[in-house]
């Protein structure tokens, strides 16, 4: 890990929350020789985090953050948007503060007035795991880490968060918070709903078929579903709390994304209904050309 001289990464660095993202950041920093102070909610989490060696100091008392030059708020989005006054009071005034929330406009709106050196950011990495056992080394290598500075964002604080992202091996990007939220609505939050609806629709269709004279259909769809169905439904079968939080905190952009999706699906449906097979094939060829651009 390369740490620029004068960088806040010379530490100590505070991590608030030791779930998948917080735990992974803490593990990488410690491995790079950076002293890490962690604040967690529950005593049992603190004990397990100490056993796993996630941080040099782990405490449930916000005072653990007292000496930190950089603090990463790795809280679930709902707790990030409704922080405890004790946490806010414990953040050193000189420290750089950043978050890892997957929606940025509401975070920026909430946190910019709370701390002069707040930088809104979103490391886009993950696994299906959650909780204090979930953190792993090198989670962020080659993954995007998006910052969404506003005109009020302290440029030096932004540079310190960039140094953190680069030290963890991430690809650094900057854009506006609204553009970020629209982008993740399209490529992250919309897929959850589209994919979840496929599970619900397949189940609903099988039950309707069973009621209409094919009693074997619910069992048959389960027996015949292949890797294609498994892939298409993976994100829809994921964490329901997370899916709900994303939709709740990015509602306008998610609704706009759903509108664009519905238009695309209705065009395909119309082609099937009308027997417009060359038009359908042209649309599917467009899909085939689009997909590699997103990989």
Which residues 180-219 are close enough to bind a second copy by CB under 8 A?
180, 182-188, 190-206, 208-209, 214, 216-217
Measured CA to CA, the distance from residue 262 to residue 134 in angstroms comes to 36
From the CB of residue 8, how many other CB atoms can be counted at a distance below 10 Å?
25
Which of 6/228 has CB closer to a second copy? 228
Give 40 or 193: the residue with its C-beta nearer to a second copy: 193
Tokens of 121: 């950011």
- Nearest-approach distance from CB 50 to a second copy, in angstroms: 32
Q: Measured from the CB atom, is 156 or 266 closer to a second copy?
A: 266
Provide DSSP, 102-138. Answer: S--HHHHHHHTTT-TTEE-EEE----S--STT---TT
In whole angstroms, the minimum distance from the beta carbon of 41 to a second copy comes to 21
Are 167 and 9 within 8 A, CB to CB?
yes
> What is residue 99's three-state secondary structure?
strand
Closer of 57 and 124 to a second copy (Cβ): 124
Which range binds a second copy by CB under 8 A, 40-48, 67-75, 83-91, 222-230?
222-230
Residue 87 vs 186, nearer CB to a second copy: 186
Please, which of residues 123-152 interact with a second copy by CB under 8 A?
A: 124, 126, 143-144, 146
Size of the site for a second copy (CB under 8 A): 98
**Interface residues for a second copy in 89-128 (CB under 8 A)?**
124, 126
CA distance 284 to 45: 49
Interaction between residue 82 and a second copy (CB under 8 A)? no
Rg, Å, the chain Cα set: 22
Long-range contacts of 226-234 (CB under 8 A, 24+ apart): 229/198, 229/202, 232/195, 232/198, 233/195, 233/196, 233/198, 233/199, 234/195
- By CB under 8 A, the residues from 28 to 57 that bind a second copy are none
240-249 helix and 190-211 helix, angle to the nearest 10 degrees: 120
Between 159 and 199, CB nearer to a second copy: 199
Stretch that binds a second copy, among 17-25, 59-67, 111-119, 267-275 (CB under 8 A): 267-275
């Amino acid at each position: 890990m390369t740490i620029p001289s004068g960088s806040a990464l010379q530490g100590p660095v505070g991590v608030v929350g030791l779930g998948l993202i917080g735990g992974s950041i803490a593990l990488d920093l410690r491995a790079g020789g950076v002293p890490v102070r962690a604040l967690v909610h529950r005593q049992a989490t603190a004990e397990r985090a100490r056993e796993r060696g996630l941080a040099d100091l782990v405490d449930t008392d916000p005072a653990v953050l007292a000496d930190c030059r950089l603090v990463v708020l790795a809280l679930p989005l709902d707790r990030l948007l409704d922080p405890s006054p004790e946490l806010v009071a414990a953040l050193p005034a000189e420290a750089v503060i950043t978050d890892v929330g997957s929606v940025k406009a509401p975070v920026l709106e909430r946190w910019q007035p709370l701390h002069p050196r707040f930088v809104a950011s979103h490391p886009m990495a993950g696994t299906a795991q959650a909780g204090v056992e979930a953190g792993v080394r090198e989670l962020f290598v080659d993954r995007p880490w998006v910052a969404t500075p506003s005109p009020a964002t302290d440029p030096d604080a932004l540079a310190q968060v960039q140094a953190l992202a680069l030290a963890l091996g991430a690809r650094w990007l900057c854009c506006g918070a609204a553009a970020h939220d629209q982008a993740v609505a399209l490529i992250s939050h919309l897929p959850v709903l589209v994919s979840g609806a496929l599970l619900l629709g397949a189940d609903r269709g099988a039950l309707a078929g069973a009621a209409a004279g094919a009693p074997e259909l619910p069992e048959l769809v389960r027996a015949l579903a292949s890797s294609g169905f498994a892939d298409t439904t993976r994100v829809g079968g994921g964490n329901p709390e997370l899916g709900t939080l994303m939709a709740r905190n990015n509602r306008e952009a998610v609704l706009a994304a759903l509108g664009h999706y519905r238009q695309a699906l209705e065009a395909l449906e119309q082609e099937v209904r009308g027997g417009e097979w060359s038009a359908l094939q042209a649309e599917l060829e467009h899909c085939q050309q689009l997909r590699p651009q997103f990989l």
